[in-house]
Structure 1
Amino acid sequence: MPSLPRPASGPGSRYTARAATTRTRPSRRHTDVATLSRNLTSRDLWLARMLYEHRVLTTHQIARLAYPSLRSAQRRLRTLHQHAVLDSFRPLTQTGSAPEHYTLGPAGAALLAAHAGLDISALGWRPTHTGRIAYSPSLGHDLGVNELLTHLAARAHTTPDASLSLWLSERSAARRWSDIIRPDAYAHWRNGDHVLPFFLEYDTGSQPLPRVEAKLAGYAAFTTATSTRPALLIHTRTQSRDQALRHRLAAAASELGLNVATSSADFTTTSPWGPWWVPLQPAARRTTLTRLAAQWPGLSPAAGLEPTDADTALTLPVPPLPPAPDTAP
């Protein structure tokens, strides 16, 4: 992958994302999808699907989900990059060093298209795919959403009774419900007998409070139109923004009959299942996702999750964790 050009203005104009130019790829790439498939494991194919669904994941996020250690993840990711299944970039930062950021590569896109019986153009993948993601103004937002949900999914590795059994990206959510709402993600958190179906709004603080408040009417319209009642979780960056949101949204959430809880990165970063969420109710205290499910017995999964004739292999939900280990290198 060639070096990414520096934009003249906007995101990336000051700091250029470094492409993975130091990682040489063989002069003969896998052009035969059947040959490439024989060299890939079920976990590799799952990862290609995840990157198609969620656009970008860091080395640490991928390792958290699918590998026993960071080193083993790095080793396999290098191999997948060499075969163009993945592309990668590393944003330059003012301080420190950013982890490698992985996206779907050309061979990976061709592989997914072949498995789905589609032309590669139907995936929306272009040769500029990685560059567009690297310089997207929503990169930080997308990584923040994925950071929260990869931690939730990986919780199953250490707590067998807990799992993120379903995780839809913003794009998948929009495909189902964009005529009413556009959440940043939709997921099901399970812990024992408790299930918390929830929409996620990942608030970076860039939108004015009235605009955030206006979204609640859409979620209320969704519950009315579908007769289903998922929770709404709003995660923001700072405690002060969290308090401002709560002050602004409490009355509207009560009037609309919505089950809403908020938190911020000042409280939760690596354990979003923990006691960091506060329901939008008077005198409410911080609690866990599992206790939210217990406190809100009227919750139900969102409508529109069942497969339809319009679905393809690429529009069906991707399991948040990879399949059982095979003969993966």
Structure 2
Amino acid sequence: MPSLPRPASGPGSRYTARVAATRPRPQHHRTNIAALSHFLTDRDIWLARMLHEHRVLTTHQIARLAYTSLRSAQRRLRTLHQYTVLDSFRPLTVTGSAPEHYTLGPAGAALIAAHAGVETTSLGWRPTHTGRIAYSPSLGHDLGVNELLTHLAARARTTPTTGLPLWLSERSAARRWGDLIRPDAYAHYRDGQYLLPFFLEYDTGSQPLARVEAKLTGYAAFTTATNTRPALLIHTRTQSRDQALRRRLTDPARDLKLHVATSSADFTTTNPWGPWWAPLEPGTQRTTLTDLAARWTGLSPASGLEPTDADTTLTIPVPPLPPTHRTVGP
């Protein structure tokens, strides 16, 4: 998919998908929601909702959000896979091996549908669900988005006043604002008294710079139409692509009065909240997400986030952390 080189392994690398079902299941484990009622925990149900929202998460991403260790995550995920709550696959990579990738399984889809009082088909889930994700050309992009945001969300587990109280997927963002913009994610990053509401554009280098620039017009139209002003964070693969974007976007961002900052995987790695983000303003240096929130005093959360009578459990945002770890306010 992308034209630029990718890492040899890990989220965002050049995947070659193989058969989606990687682990055999015992024959006696079948979709039976009633039988699972005594077995599933609140964390299990939260995970099913997260996979419905964000499509695919690796073992490491799930462990980061919800478990005390990778080994405990692997044990529970293996069990949930056996009971068909989850499906999984492991793509081939150019070098090394990829972690297990988890998606929503048939029992998980039936569970979510039952909670919402709808048929499973209303979720958009089909028996081919995992296969379509495994072979999707956007797999690396989707995992890159989830890698960045799971690191931000999981920070609340060690620093309770910091993290992501809100994280909407590309699909949820499109449901709310698709007539104006289609970001790869929308989230709120909080650090104590500072709140940074932001749209995320996860740039893989596959799009021409002119197409990335054209997206700024949509974000400017959004701020005008809704009278709200979230920031726009653009994350890309390499520092060279980051510099090319900055040269192309600085003047349009200024003319459109947008608050935009860029960074790349060369910097953010495992602590994307750190001093890796450069505002599109002359003479600025890279800074932290907290400093961006303090610097851009005119920011405000996007409209359309409050639940309405039209919302269901399928459209209400899923908390980025499981119930026992919800420590950051909205």
TM range (shorter): over 0.9
CA–CA distance in 1 between the matches of 2:121 and 2:163?
34
Query: Are the counterparts in 2 of residues 190 and 196 from structure 1 also a CA contact under 8 Å?
Result: yes
Counterpart for residue 8 of structure 1: none
Say whether 1:36 aligns with 2:36.
yes
Aligned counterparts, 1:126-205, within 5 A:
126-205=126-205
Partner of 2:323: helix, strand, or coil?
Answer: coil
1:311 is matched with which residue?
Answer: 311
8 Å CA contact 1:64–1:154 kept in 2: the answer is: yes
CA shift, 1:30, in A, is 4.1
Correspondence 1:99 to 2:99: yes
Contact 2:20–2:130 (8 Å) recurs in 1? no
Count of residue pairs the alignment pairs up: 311
User: Matched residue of 1:153: which SS?
Assistant: helix
Q: Could you tell me which residue of structure 1 aligns to residue 260 of structure 2?
A: 260
* 1:312 to partner: Cα distance: 1.0
* SS of residue paired to 1:313: coil
Tell me the distance in 2 between the aligned counterparts of 1:19 and 1:208.
32
Partner of 1:110: 110
Matched with 1:249 is 249
Gaps of 5+ in 2: 1-14, 326-330
Letter paired with 1:64: R
What SS does the corresponding residue of 1:218 show, helix, strand or coil?
helix
Q: Could you say which residue in structure 2 is the equivalent of 1:82? A: 82
Matched AA of 1:309:
D
8 Å CA contact retained: 1:65, 1:153: yes
Give me the whole-angstrom Cα distance separating, in 2, the residues matched to 1:201 and 1:27.
Answer: 43
CA distance in 2, matches of 1:104, 1:127: 10
Residue aligned with 1:196, SS: strand
Aligned equivalents of 1:122 and 1:294: distance in 2?
42
State TM-score, norm by structure 1. Answer: 0.93
Deviations 1:200-239 (A, max 9, x none): 0000000000000000000000000000000000000000
Which residue does the alignment assign to 1:4?
A: none
Aligned amino acid, residue 83 of structure 1: Y
Shift of 1:16: 4.2
Distance, in Å, in 2 between the alignment partners of 1:81 and 1:163 is 29
Cα offset, 1:32, TM superposition: 3.0
Distance (whole Å) between structure 1 residues aligned to residue 144 and residue 182 of structure 2: 17
Q: 1:270 maps to what in 2?
A: 270
1:27-63 per-position Cα deviation (integer Å, ceiling 9, x unaligned): 1234331221221000000000000000000000000
Q: Which amino acid aligns with 1:120?
A: T
The percentage of aligned residue pairs carrying the same residue is 79
Name the SS for the 1:38 alignment partner.
Answer: coil
Contact 2:32 2:107 (C-alpha < 8 Å) held by counterparts? no
- Residue type of the alignment partner of 2:104: L
- 2-structure distance, mates of 1:321, 1:100: 20
Distance of 1:45 and 1:146 partners within structure 2: 19
Alignment partner, residue 6 of structure 2: none
Separation in structure 1 between the aligned mates of residue 154 and residue 139 of structure 2, nearest angstrom: 22
| Structure 2 residue aligned with 1:11 | none
Counterpart of 2:224? 224
Q: What's the RMSD between the two structures over aligned residues?
A: 1.1
Q: Which runs of 4 or more aligned residues in structure 1 lie more than 4 Å from their structure 2 counterparts after TM superposition?
A: none
Where do 1:7-18 residues align within 5 Å? 15-18=16-19
Question: Normalising by structure 2, what TM-score?
Answer: 0.92
Distance 2:98 2:28 in 1: 30
Letter in structure 2 aligned against 1:49? R
Give the secondary structure class of the aligned counterpart of 1:324: helix
